Structure 1
Amino acid sequence: MSTEYRLTQYAHGGGCACKIPPGELEEVVRGLRGTPSDDLLVGLDDGDDAAVVRIDGGRAVVATTDFFTPVVDDAYDWGRIAAANALSDVYAMGGRPLVALNLLGWPREKLPFELAAEVLRGGMDVCTAASCHLAGGHSVDDPEPKYGLAVTGLADPDHLLRNDSGRAGLPLSLTKPLGLGVLNNRHKATGERFEEAVAVMTTLNADAAEAALAAGITCATDVTGFGLLGHLHKLARASGVTAVVDAAAVPFLDGARAALRDGYVPGGSRRNLDWVRPHADLGAVADDTAILLADAQTSGGLLLAGEIQGAPVIGELVPRRAGQTIVVR
């Protein structure tokens, strides 16, 4: 049945590329302030990947949610990708996911519920692989299909990965290649299937987070809808430093440059670049490379201020330069 319905055709966007643009989102949440508490270790202040609340001396709860429209046509793969993406926020904070709840929006008069069951099965299989309980959730009748998870995890409050703890002199590492946005956009337009992209999006960031903590790394974020440049801008801004990126060292998926050349660029990727450009020096790279560096990723890798085995070093953090959080060379 999954081959009879192209799920990406039932949504205006796909995956994390359908996020509200970062500049607009920051305006929306600018005035939101919760009740101050010493136990709220990570909240709204720096736009980190999840909320973290201390529950006792050695434990903290990590809470997050993430959902989106179909990024691939296959229902089972979409479920796996959406679940891996939601769990990633917990890993990006240095936590371990404990329990998750399904979030499902379904156009019940357009798509059969057998496909919804395949989406949920994909999410269940990824949660099982992550040793995370998946128990229940919530569903609504929705004009567009949407799926994701609300996830609760645990972390050591004294050993978190945060986006505000970077310091000058640290290298920058990236654990997954870029190009998911343009490849997914090509898939949506043509139906071409990119197995490497699916494999990347369904790979959990658990091992990378564990390696980062073991290496003593304290600063990290995951690379999703705001692209490498967008998430790096947030990290550098929160940490009070400037990030220098070596564009030649950044890994890309096979076919990403061809998809860009052929015009398959998500609107979200262009909006990411527009948002970052006033805070960046991009003069050393061509426009096509800048677009790929801002490409909206779905279930992307971890961006680490530090080094772990197997992850390429793509740049470094340096003392803050006036008006700039990112320099690409």
Structure 2
Amino acid sequence: MIRAGIIGGSGYTGGELIRLLLAHPAISLDFVYSTTRAGKPLSEAHPDLLGVTRQVFSGEVDAGVDVVFLCLGYGNSRAFLKEHPFSEKTHVIDLSNDFRLQADASYLGRDFVYGLPELYREAVEGAQNIANPGCFATAIQLALLPLAKAGLLTETVHVNAVTGSTGAGVSPSETTHYSWRDNNVSWYKPFTHQHLGEIGESLSDLQGKGAEVLFLPVRGNFTRGIFATAYTRYEGSLQEAEGLYDAFYAQAAFTVRSGKPLALKQVVNTNFAHLHLHRHGEYLLVTSAIDNLLKGASGQAVQNMNLIFGLEETLGLELKGSAF
């Protein structure tokens, strides 16, 4: 069994990761570290685990586990690794954005590989440490990568993506409490969202200097999922575009093109990313849908772990969605 630990297990991504690892046939979840909940049952923070496990939060870290997942806020992963050095043999999978950009990918002797399997699968398989992509970044990159590889992102790309309230984390805020979020929609961080940096680096790896991506993130009045639409000028036919996408994702375990328009529910509670292409005049519209807590966070982290340890990529991620 692969011995795993989680740092910061009381939030949404931590809770999903606990659920996935407890059910994973190759994993022994040795500890879930918390400074504020040590000794308390995991099910106290995550009621869906009631009856699933009697495990409690730990106040201590085992530095010799095979893999550790960091589910911490911005900047906290660096601080934690500095204060709690793990064994050189321990694989670190970070779910924050501390190590995603190339300029930040080396820290305290650890080199982090950007963990988008559809683009960097071979690098992930040989990685010691993983910087797990952001949720918006995952949805948007999967929508655009085939075009970038073909050198077809030559003009401005317009992206609109709506996310559920869980994307803002478990701590309540002015824009996440029920009376504000329900029956409400709003945008935030227009054209400046922090995930644009990692998106730009991945597209540049495929195409070199490409088109500008104008991204408008939107808060939705639901809890889970990201529904993203991206459009740009495109000279080819719809059939040619579909061929590009089918070829690019032919070996992808979880990214699938649909011939029909998408609905967000079909990917919620799964690790799938569903894509759809639509041609309108001189524009190609690409729709992308993921679960922000799974393919956009914890599910992708487990997917990366499977690749690192030579396991089946889908192991522990055979999750059933519900479209009704």
Question: What is the TM-score normalised by the length of structure 1?
Answer: 0.28
- Greater relative contact order, per chain length (Cα 8 Å cut-off, separation 6+): 1
Structure holding more helix per residue: 1
